């Protein structure tokens, strides 16, 4: 059984780029009669804006993007995260770290996804203390992702990422860690999301293997950019989702290079969605990292 999901962070209203991800993951699941779940990634309190959960649910519903089951919230899963965090801690591959951002910026190399952590605190044996973060030790064995859109990518975690944080110094679990537990709890089989998360995927596969979780299939779609800059929820740029629901669907299908019917203008929203699902062709999506929408 295919189980897919859409996992927005409630840091603002959905924008065109988020709708691309929502619609792509929805069509991919519905095409094969699979489930499509909604998970609200609200664990990072600093990023959460209170109004935005309601706004996200409303926008999805207005586009007829109805999810199965009740939506889940990362903030309700702290016990489960703690359970698996203890499991990882018991493997003797985690250690505490007190390096500040400033220290890293002066002493570590900047990689594709932040500073490459060379293990400054690995042998310090820092005692448990509230202001320390917890890092996961990695190794040199390349992790290969067979992405259904971007093709095969390989990452050497120790060279390209370094030991990474699974619990932050403010005691919040990191995205890299929490998303793996979520996939396990929700029994996710397929993940369709933006290509900005492609470089995170090997870390997630690494954790999933350590915890003996099933590894979902990944499809990373190009992110929508304006002048090569990622659109973000905190931007004021909302114009693209101010259009009517039919237009949004058509714009997104165009962005994803999906078949467009000549009769879309005479169809209602339900008919467009039915057409989109029936003709959904993941292989037509461009394997690029980003696409400018203008």
Contacts of 132 (CB under 8 A, 6+ apart): 96, 97, 98, 126, 169
Give the Cα separation of 49 and 251 in Å (integer).
27
Task: Give the shortest CB-198-to-ligand GLU separation in angstroms.
Answer: 11
Q: Which is nearer to ligand GLU, 8 or 162 (CB)?
A: 8
Task: Give the shortest CB-5-to-ligand GLU separation in angstroms.
Answer: 8
Task: Give the shortest CB-6-to-ligand GLU separation in angstroms.
Answer: 8
Can you name the residues that pair with 165 across neighbouring β-strands?
135
Q: Which is nearer to ligand GLU, 195 or 276 (CB)?
A: 195
Contacts of 293 (CB under 8 A, 6+ apart): 16, 224, 225, 226, 231, 240, 255
Q: Which is nearer to ligand GLU, 133 or 190 (CB)?
A: 190
Q: Which is nearer to ligand GLU, 55 or 261 (CB)?
A: 55
Task: Give the shortest CB-66-to-ligand GLU separation in angstroms.
Answer: 19
Query: Helices (DSSP H) in the chain: which residue ranges?
Result: 16-31, 52-62, 78-89, 101-107, 157-160, 175-186, 201-210, 245-255, 269-278
C-beta of residue 145 within 8 angstroms of C-beta of residue 152: yes
Binding residues for ligand GLU, rule: CB under 6 A, are 7-9, 41, 179, 193, 197
Q: Which is nearer to ligand GLU, 3 or 179 (CB)?
A: 179
């Amino acid at each position: 059984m295919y189980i897919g999901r859409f996992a927005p962070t409630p840091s603002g209203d959905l924008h065109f780029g988020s709708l691309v991800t929502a619609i792509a993951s929805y069509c991919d699941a519905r095409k094969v009669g699979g489930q499509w779940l909604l998970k609200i990634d609200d664990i990072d309190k600093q990023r959460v804006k209170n109004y935005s959960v309601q706004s996200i649910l409303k926008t999805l519903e207005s586009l007829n993007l109805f999810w199965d089951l009740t939506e889940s919230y990362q903030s309700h899963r702290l016990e489960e995260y703690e359970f698996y965090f203890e499991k990882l801690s018991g493997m003797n591959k985690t250690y505490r770290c007190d390096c500040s951002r400033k220290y890293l910026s002066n002493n570590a190399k900047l990689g594709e996804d932040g500073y490459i952590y060379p293990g400054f605190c690995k042998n310090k044996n820092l005692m448990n203390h509230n202001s320390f973060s917890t890092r996961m030790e990695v190794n040199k064995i390349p992790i290969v992702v067979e992405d259904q859109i971007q093709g095969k990518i390989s990452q050497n975690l120790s060279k390209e990422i370094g030991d990474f944080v699974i619990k932050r110094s403010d005691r919040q679990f990191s995205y890299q860690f929490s998303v793996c537990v979520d996939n396990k709890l929700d029994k996710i089989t397929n993940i369709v999301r933006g290509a900005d998360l492609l470089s995170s995927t090997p870390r997630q596969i690494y954790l999933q293997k350590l915890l003996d979780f099933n590894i979902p299939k990944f499809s990373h779609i190009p992110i929508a950019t304006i002048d090569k800059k990622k659109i973000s929820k905190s931007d004021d740029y909302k114009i693209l989702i101010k259009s009517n629901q039919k237009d949004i669907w058509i714009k997104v299908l165009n962005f994803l290079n999906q078949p467009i019917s000549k009769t879309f203008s005479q169809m209602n929203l339900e008919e467009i969605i039915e057409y989109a699902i029936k003709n959904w062709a993941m292989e037509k999506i461009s394997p690029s990292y980003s696409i400018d929408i203008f």
